């Protein structure tokens, strides 16, 4: 039982971290392409944007079975649009500030999402299901159990610590 827990724990933490990092990279590259400047995106100090990780887990819960990439793309495009809209309002309610806007984007949805970004999230979802999710399975099976548990604990501690510090800073 413990062995299964360590490997499952590692998979979820690894996927959370990797999806959050992929989101951060996407955001930084997007700002670089649009404005030719580096901007550290997200509310954490680490290069992780948790909304991407939570979005990936929501997609994993809804689209659990292996499906055709076009279905994943279409479903993820719709699901992430709704999730992004809801998350923007929730974060604004909690922190009393708007963390992102799509005001200047084509096909903006209430300035809080965009059909363009939603399509990009659909592509990222296909990559998640066909690359990241299988990779985490292989890693969790091949790495020694203590390494899985230790890595999962280390990443969890780092992300939780950064989340508490960043939330406190944003609530000031």
Kindly list the distances between the CA atom of residue 64 and the CA atoms of 72, 77, 129, 171, in Å, as whole numbers in the listed order: 10, 16, 9, 35
Report the pLDDT value the prediction gives residue 2, as an integer from 0 to 100.
61
Instruction: Flag the least confident range among 52-61, 85-94, 96-105, 114-123.
Output: 96-105
Tens digits of residue pLDDT in 101-113: 888 888 989 889 9
Mean pLDDT to the nearest integer, 105-124: 91
For the chain, the average pLDDT equals 92
**In this model, does residue 117 exceed pLDDT 60?**
yes
**What is the rounded CA–CA span in Å between residue 21 and residue 3?**
27
Collapse the DSSP code of 108 into the 3-class scheme (helix H, G, I; strand E, B; otherwise coil) and give the result.
Answer: strand
Other CB atoms closer than 10 Å to residue 119's CB: what's the count? Answer: 17
This prediction has a pTM of: 0.89
């Amino acid at each position: 039982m413990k062995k299964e827990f360590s490997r499952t724990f590692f998979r979820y933490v690894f996927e959370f971290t990797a999806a959050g990092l992929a989101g951060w990279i996407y955001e930084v590259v997007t700002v670089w392409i649009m404005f030719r400047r580096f901007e550290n995106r997200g509310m954490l100090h680490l290069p992780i944007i948790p909304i991407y990780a939570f979005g990936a887990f929501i997609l994993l819960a809804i689209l659990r079975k292996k499906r055709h990439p076009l279905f994943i793309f279409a479903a993820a495009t719709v699901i992430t649009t709704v999730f992004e809209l809801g998350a923007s309002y929730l974060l604004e309610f909690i922190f009393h500030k708007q963390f992102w806007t799509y005001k200047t984007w084509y096909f903006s949805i209430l300035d809080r999402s965009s059909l363009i970004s939603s399509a990009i999230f659909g592509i990222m979802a296909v990559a998640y299901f066909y690359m990241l999710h299988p990779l985490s399975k292989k890693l969790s099976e091949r790495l020694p159990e203590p390494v899985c548990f230790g890595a999962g604990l280390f990443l969890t501690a780092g992300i939780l610590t950064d989340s508490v510090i960043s939330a406190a800073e944003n609530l000031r």
